[in-house]
Amino acid sequence: MTAMELDRAWALHAQVAVRPEPFGALLYHFGTRGLTFLKDRRLLTVVQSLAHEPTARAACLAAGVGEAELPRYGRALAALAQSSMIVGKA
């Protein structure tokens, strides 16, 4: 999986519900009926803040993700984009 473009604006898909769990969260897409497990609480924070930050990079940094960790989070966000859990903002 390649990393996504972190300097672009992203948001949670309008048809995705987030259910926080002790291990992270469950994301359910009502349109595709897809279910995704987030096993990282910081990734949950990133996903939830995408709508309020100008870029995915800004959301990562606001969640406390360090520069060295950005490639790993970029790959995780790319997987979420590929499954339509997050979408690019215009």
Per-residue pLDDT of the chain (90 residues; tens, 9 = 90+): 566 889 999 999 999 999 999 999 999 999 999 999 999 999 999 999 999 999 999 999 999 999 999 999 999 999 999 999 999 987
Q: Where are the domains of the chain?
A: 10-84
| pLDDT for the residue numbered 1 | 58
Q: What is the pTM of this model?
A: 0.91
Q: How far apart are the first and last CA of the chain?
A: 24
Q: What is the pLDDT of residue 4?
A: 82
Query: What is the separation of C-alpha 6 from the centre of its chain, rounded to a whole number of angstroms?
Result: 11
CATH for 10-84? 3.90.930
Alpha helices in the chain (DSSP H): 41-49, 56-62, 70-82
Q: Which pLDDT score, from 0 to 100, does residue 7 have?
A: 95
